């Protein structure tokens, strides 16, 4: 997650230009707002994500509905939106979805900025020129290219079947807009990554870039998020186990305090060998096998290697949202 500074701007040569664009560039860029949130210090996510978060949001509704990345607003007690013109308005959290990573906030005042059209990330292709836009117009917008589209697994028990990766990287990636050649929104910024082209790319070199959540994941869940603040689906089993891939093994790198994995006495340095008796070799495989076992509350049998000994422990999974503070009411 990044913190914006008004003192910087991209070199003119890196900024997008109206020439050759088939849409109104400045209008599209002005739909991106600065988003800042404050989270109670005792919130579950404060220890890992901080109590003050800053990034971007994109106006997708004429009524002031703003799309962002969920970690910016998780457990937020207050949210402020600021336009490129400097107009500030408070907002409240509408909802967020742990599976996709999307979050929604509703402006409580008039924004006076245009709504960006939702495009189709399915139309995006590797090699396409795109715009990665943070709040601030052209000065904070970067001409980039899609360098890969592939599966992404995050250590916080997060998995996308296909994420979009761009390069060069934008320094204010959280909630940034990925704008396609049609001027529509193709994705929402989530991460800075070191292997934008993917592990094992033929160049043999890593390339810094950004990861985006594809916009096509939004329409199927948008109505639920607006109406209920969450998606009407059974919650996945969550362990609170932060694992990393190291030399072909899945190693426990951290544990969420008070979460199921910590209560089951898993420890940093443990190696996860199997889920329900099935050998696993990567994060994506581990998450899929855990989620196939049932919904939140399901017992998850993990085979663990620790100090040369191998044993199995049954972790009683939980609903991640049960550990989080509900959004503040306005």
- pLDDT tens-digit readout, 132-186: 999 999 999 999 999 999 999 999 999 999 999 999 999 999 999 999 999 999 9
Say if 328 falls within a structural domain: no
Say if 234 falls within a structural domain: no
Contact call for residues 32 and 134 (beta carbons, < 8 A)? yes
Residues 267 and 305 in one domain: yes
Residues 20 and 108 in one domain: yes
Full domain range(s) for residue 262: 241-323
Task: Check which CATH number belongs to the domain holding 277 and give it.
Answer: 2.30.42.10
Residues 74 and 126 in one domain: no
Percent of the chain topping pLDDT 90: 88
Residues 105 and 141 in one domain: no
Of 205, 228, 251, the position where a domain reaches its end is: 228
pLDDT band at residue 206 under the 50/70/90 scheme: confident
Q: What is the pLDDT of residues 162-177, one digit of tens each?
A: 999 999 999 999 999 9
Task: Check which CATH number belongs to the domain holding 73 and give it.
Answer: 2.40.10.10
Global pTM value? 0.94
Say if 168 falls within a structural domain: yes
Residues 297 and 248 in one domain: yes
Say if 68 falls within a structural domain: yes
| pLDDT above 80 for 319 | yes
User: In angstroms, what CA-CA distances link 108 with 38, 78, 94, 300?
Assistant: 16, 12, 11, 43
Of 198, 228, 258, the position where a domain reaches its end is: 228
Q: What is the pLDDT of residues 39-94, one digit of tens each?
A: 999 999 999 999 999 999 999 999 999 999 999 999 999 999 999 888 899 999 99
Q: How far apart are CA 237 and CA 291, in angstroms?
A: 6
Residues 130 and 200 in one domain: yes
Residues 106 and 144 in one domain: no
Say if 2 falls within a structural domain: no
Residues 209 and 279 in one domain: no
Say if 262 falls within a structural domain: yes
Among positive and negative, which fits the CA dihedral 221, 224, 229, 234? negative
Say if 5 falls within a structural domain: no
Which segments within the chain are labelled E, that is strand? 32-38, 52-59, 65-69, 78-82, 88-96, 102-107, 129-133, 141-154, 158-167, 177-179, 185-193, 209-214, 241-246, 249-255, 271-275, 278-279, 299-306, 309-316
CA nearest 35: which of 88, 77, 75?
88
| pLDDT in the model for residue 108 | 96
pLDDT band at residue 5 under the 50/70/90 scheme: very low
| pLDDT in the model for residue 13 | 95
Residues 23 and 101 in one domain: yes
Say if 94 falls within a structural domain: yes
Residues 108 and 145 in one domain: no
| pLDDT above 70 for 2 | no
Of 178, 204, 228, the position where a domain reaches its end is: 228
DSSP string, 256-294: -TTSHHHHTT--TT-EEEEETTEE--SHHHHHHHHHHT-
Q: What is the mean pLDDT of the chain?
A: 94
Number of domains in the chain: 3
213-242 average pLDDT score: 97
Residues 202 and 170 in one domain: yes
Residues 100 and 33 in one domain: yes
pLDDT band at residue 202 under the 50/70/90 scheme: low
């Amino acid at each position: 997650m990044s913190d914006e500074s008004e003192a910087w701007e991209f070199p003119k040569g890196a900024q997008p230009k109206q020439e050759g664009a088939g849409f109104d560039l400045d209008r599209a860029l002005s739909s991106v707002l600065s988003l800042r949130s404050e989270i109670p210090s005792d919130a579950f996510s404060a220890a890992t994500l901080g109590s003050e978060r800053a990034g971007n949001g994109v106006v997708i509704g004429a009524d002031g509905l703003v799309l962002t990345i969920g970690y910016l607003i998780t457990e937020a007690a207050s949210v402020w939106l600021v336009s490129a013109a400097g107009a500030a308005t408070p907002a409240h959290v509408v909802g967020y979805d742990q599976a996709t990573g999307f979050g929604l906030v509703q402006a409580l005042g008039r924004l006076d900025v245009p709504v960006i059209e939702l495009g189709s990330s399915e139309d995006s292709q590797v090699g396409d020129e795109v715009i990665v836009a943070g709040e601030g117009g052209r000065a904070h917008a970067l001409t980039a290219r899609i360098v890969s589209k592939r599966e992404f697994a995050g250590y916080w028990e997060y998995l996308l079947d296909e994420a979009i990766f761009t390069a060069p990287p934008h320094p204010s990636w959280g909630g940034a807009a990925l704008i396609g050649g049609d001027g529509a929104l193709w994705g929402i910024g989530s991460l800075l990554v070191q292997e934008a082209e993917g592990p094992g790319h033929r160049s043999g070199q890593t390339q810094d870039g950004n990861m985006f959540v594809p916009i096509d994941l939004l329409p199927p869940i948008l109505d639920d998020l607006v109406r209920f603040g969450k998606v009407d689906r059974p919650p996945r089993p969550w362990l609170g186990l932060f694992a990393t891939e190291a030399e072909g093994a899945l190693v426990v790198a951290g544990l969420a305090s008070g979460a199921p994995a910590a209560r089951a006495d898993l420890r940093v340095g443990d190696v996860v060998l199997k889920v329900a008796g099935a050998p696993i070799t990567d994060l994506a495989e581990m998450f899929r096998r855990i989620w196939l076992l049932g919904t939140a509350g399901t017992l998850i049998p993990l085979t663990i290697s620790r100090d040369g000994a191998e044993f199995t422990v049954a972790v009683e999974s939980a609903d991640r949202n049960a550990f989080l503070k509900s959004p503040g009411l306005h």
